[in-house]
Chain A
Amino acid sequence: MSEVESISRTPAGDTRDLTMIEAINEALDIMLERDPDVILLGEDIGYFGGVFRATAGLQEKHGKTRVFDTPISECGIIGVAVGMGAYGLRPVPEIQFADYIYPGLDQLVSEAARLRYRSAAEFIAPMTVRTPFGGGIFGGQTHSQSPEALFTHVAGLKTVVPSTPYDAKGLLIAAIEDNDPVIFFEPKRIYNGPFDGYYDQPTRPWKGHPDAHVPEGHYTVSLGQARIVRAGDALTVLAYGTMVHVAEAVCRQKAVDAEIIDLRTLVPLDIEAIEKSVRKTGRCLIVHEATRTSGFGAELSALVTERCFYHLEAPVERVTGFDTPYPHSLEWAYFPGPVRVGEGIDKLLSE
């Protein structure tokens, strides 16, 4: 199903090329229009339209009681969103940077994630927390983190990471319509154009990229469904967010017949797509920006080893950020760029 959808995608409506930011803005606009229960809140998202412009124009169009600014209090933003969900609204809170989600963590882990379970479904938290994440923009320690593993570890939360404008819109609409709490990580490095890891080359815009053709109107990309970015036989690459583009570029340059899977949703995970691919290729490379130890790659590696052990021709390889806080000046030494990904591929293929 994943393959069919990704390789011969034929969207229904008219398409234009949008950046990921424009695609996100359009998804929010559509949901505000369609569902009176959708409400947007966060720091600087109202009048100003967000520090990344994701909510530009939405307050003017939908009014101050649907789209509004909040105090600088992540605990408050998430906490009131839980209460709004209990009332029956469908809140979409924004946390300005994923690095600043921690003050809201108790409300996410102890409350949003468990509301349905502990109340036996009397109360639910149908909220989507949007938050820019990932590095590659000289953001230093507190504008670059990838804390997805903290959330994938929490029972009751769904975790989503888009890598293209098409997916960003479809996944965000699906997340907002989903009745479970969703953490929606937006890779800010690829807001305005794909990034292949070559930081010393000019940035490309999304315009002209096949995944930037975004249909008008409402459509969804199902949560829990991976995308086969490229079909291949030599090895399987599991990636999400910015790293999908880095892996794709490296495989192209090395002319490796890799099968690249963009996970899109980390929880629930598309285990079928992963198993099918690794059983075919016999080799698996896992790539993420987040630090290595106890990162989501460890879960992926364990799952692949448990479920595809007799098909593996080499140990599962992980290419990740280093186990340090995200540095400022040494950003490109930290970032798992083309050299590290390339060596991971070489190692896997040499086994």
Chain B
Amino acid sequence: MAEHDAATRQNRPRLSLHVPEPLFRPGDKVDFTHLVIPHAGLQPRPDESCHPRETFALCTDLVRVLDDDHQAQGPWNPRLAPDQLRRILREMALIRAFDSRMYRLQRQGKTSFYLKCSGEEATSIAATHALDFEDMIFPSYRQQGCLIARGYPLVDMINQIFSNRADKLKGRQLPILYSAKSVNFFTISGNLATQLPQATGFAMASASRGDSKIAVGWVGEGSTAEGDFHSALLFAAVYNAPVIFNIVNNQWAISSFSGFAGAERATFAARAIGYGIAGLRVDGNDVLAVYAAQRWAADRARANAGPTLIEYFTFRAEGHSTSDDPTAYRSAQEGVEWPLGDPIARLRDHLIAIGEWSIAQHESMDGELDEQVKTATREAEKNGILGHGLHQPDRTMFEDVFEDQPWHLKEQAAQAVHERRVKYPDGDTA
């Protein structure tokens, strides 16, 4: 039928459906020369309280501080003290060591799942350094760096990953879906982008109570396609909410390249323009640029000048998760050829270039961090690993569904306790 109709309308051009396709697939030779990477230091830095429209040019530019000679350039240079830079470097190296060990533990069957943030360490860690401790972070699942930057104990993270008896979330959550109210880190959900309107709501609440806390929402570029992204930006704009939206554009959403989230037509930072909120597009592998941008947005929010959307342009250096094999959909060369380099190496080289660090110090630090992660792992393993006993008592499954337990949950809890007695007649009856 449709074919017939089309045939009778020969005088009109045939329509065609555009389905985006990444530039490189497995086996392809990678060439990133099409990417426009502006020189560091050339991007203007408007005042934090400026009208959003003054940032619109920055939504298609790329804020960069570290140049090819590892020197800090231009108005966005946050001029951080070497001590703070070394702290940031150490935390980035720590989360990389942590990721690497947890990944291996998953392969050894000690937990069911893990997910690295390799190549994206600068985004979460440098951004968190630019915030106040009281500011609430609404993370996605790839911001483990925020926990490290806020000093959350590694052992508590690993207990959660093992779902063992010391897991603060009582074995209820998939590994890495942390919740850490003690460091103002919101409970992570498996449902993408839901945290963004929540961050806006938190910020609205803070503003309505005349508080000084701001909220910071994180999302991957793939998840910006969710309706919640739109709701969050719209509400933030309407109520001038003190919130920052951090988009980590790592180019990939599992196997889908950023084109499926709209990257072929516009930058993700440019989404800010339509909502009338401030936007910045930032080199996500440049610690100084990330810190400066986050600090700018935080100061702006704190001054009641409104929300900011920041796109961190970076690259997901590894697979999506332990359940993913990236060689099935993208060229292995992409990570090697990525023109913005590695965030840890770039900060290391900067510190060396300004005479505040050395290769020897770096290597010795890496050794220490490996040992720190190993020690924490051993400590956590004492509390059990997934599926090897030492988990939560069965009754805890029925707790916290509601504040109090209604009759139907009491009945079901009794059933679970009964089943345990049937399965382990001589064991404990938790």
A267 within 8 A of B: yes
Q: Are B179 and A118 in contact (CB under 8 A)?
A: yes
Name the residue on B nearest A265 (C-beta): B406
Quick one: CB contact mask for B158-179 with A, threshold 8 Å, 1 for yes? 0000000000111011000101
Task: State the interface size on chain A (CB cutoff 8 A).
Answer: 48
Name the residue on B nearest A121 (C-beta): B400
Contact A75 B197, CB 8 Å, known A116-B402, A179-B403:
yes
A198 within 8 A of B: no
A217 within 8 A of B: no
A110 within 8 A of B: yes
B304 within 8 A of A: no
Quick one: CB contact mask for A93-130 with B, threshold 8 Å, 1 for yes? 00000000001001100110011111111111000000
Please indicate the chain A residues that have their CB under 8 angstroms from the CB of B296 in the complex: none
Please indicate the chain B residues that have their CB under 8 angstroms from the CB of A116 in the complex: 400-403
Name the residue on A nearest B170 (C-beta): A120
Quick one: CB contact mask for B177-205 with A, threshold 8 Å, 1 for yes? 10111000011011100101111111111
User: Which of A49-57, A81-89, A244-252, A288-296 sits within the interface?
Assistant: A81-89
Q: Are B228 and A119 in contact (CB under 8 A)?
A: no
B244 within 8 A of A: no
A180 within 8 A of B: yes
Q: Are B201 and A83 in contact (CB under 8 A)?
A: yes
Complex Cα–Cα for A156 and B404 (A)? 11
Most buried by A among B186, B191, B201: B201
Contact A120 B172, CB 8 Å, known A75-B197, A76-B197:
yes
Most buried by B among A85, A107, A117, A119: A119
Complex Cα–Cα for A107 and B230 (A)? 14
Instruction: Tell me the minimal C-beta distance from A102 to chain B in angstroms.
Output: 12
Q: From B179, B207, B401, give the contact of A119 (CB < 8 A).
A: B179
Q: Are A79 and B231 in contact (CB under 8 A)?
A: yes
User: Which of A64-72, A202-210, A231-239 sits within the interface?
Assistant: A64-72
Q: From B189, B194, B231, B403, give the contact of A180 (CB < 8 A).
A: B403
Contact A83 B198, CB 8 Å, known A73-B234, A120-B179, A155-B401:
yes
Quick one: CB contact mask for B393-419 with A, threshold 8 Å, 1 for yes? 000000011110011100000000000
Please indicate the chain B residues that have their CB under 8 angstroms from the CB of A149 in the complex: none
Instruction: Tell me the minimal C-beta distance from B393 to chain A in angstroms.
Output: 13
A271 within 8 A of B: yes
Please indicate the chain A residues that have their CB under 8 angstroms from the CB of B170 in the complex: 120
Task: State the interface size on chain B (CB cutoff 8 A).
Answer: 47
Please indicate the chain B residues that have their CB under 8 angstroms from the CB of A264 in the complex: none
Quick one: CB contact mask for A270-309 with B, threshold 8 Å, 1 for yes? 0100000000000000000000000000000000000000
A80 within 8 A of B: yes
A345 within 8 A of B: no
Contact A79 B400, CB 8 Å, known A73-B234, A103-B227, A118-B177:
no
A224 within 8 A of B: yes
Contact A87 B234, CB 8 Å, known A79-B200, A82-B197, A106-B194:
no
B322 within 8 A of A: no
A158 within 8 A of B: yes
Instruction: Tell me the minimal C-beta distance from A149 to chain B in angstroms.
Output: 16
Instruction: Tell me the minimal C-beta distance from A104 to chain B in angstroms.
Output: 9
Please indicate the chain B residues that have their CB under 8 angstroms from the CB of A267 in the complex: 406
A268 within 8 A of B: yes
Complex Cα–Cα for A283 and B170 (A)? 44
Q: Are B194 and A111 in contact (CB under 8 A)?
A: yes
Q: Are B197 and A83 in contact (CB under 8 A)?
A: yes
Name the residue on A nearest B206 (C-beta): A87
A39 within 8 A of B: yes
Q: Return 21 A-B CB contacts under 8 Å, by A number.
A: A39-B205, A71-B235, A78-B197, A79-B198, A80-B197, A82-B194, A83-B200, A83-B205, A84-B202, A86-B136, A87-B205, A87-B206, A111-B191, A116-B402, A120-B179, A123-B179, A156-B401, A156-B402, A178-B403, A179-B403, A267-B406
Residue ranges of B at the interface with A (Cβ–Cβ < 8 Å)? 136, 138, 168-170, 172-173, 177, 179-181, 186-187, 189-191, 194, 196-209, 215, 227-228, 230-232, 234-235, 238, 400-403, 406-408
Those 10 A-B pairs whose CB atoms lie nearest each other, nearest first: A83-B201, A79-B197, A80-B201, A76-B231, A268-B406, A83-B198, A87-B205, A119-B187, A119-B179, A83-B202
Task: Given A82-B194, A82-B197, A106-B191, output 17 extra A-B contacts at Cβ < 8 Å.
Answer: A39-B205, A71-B238, A75-B197, A80-B231, A83-B202, A86-B136, A86-B201, A89-B205, A89-B208, A117-B172, A117-B400, A118-B187, A119-B169, A122-B180, A122-B187, A123-B179, A155-B401
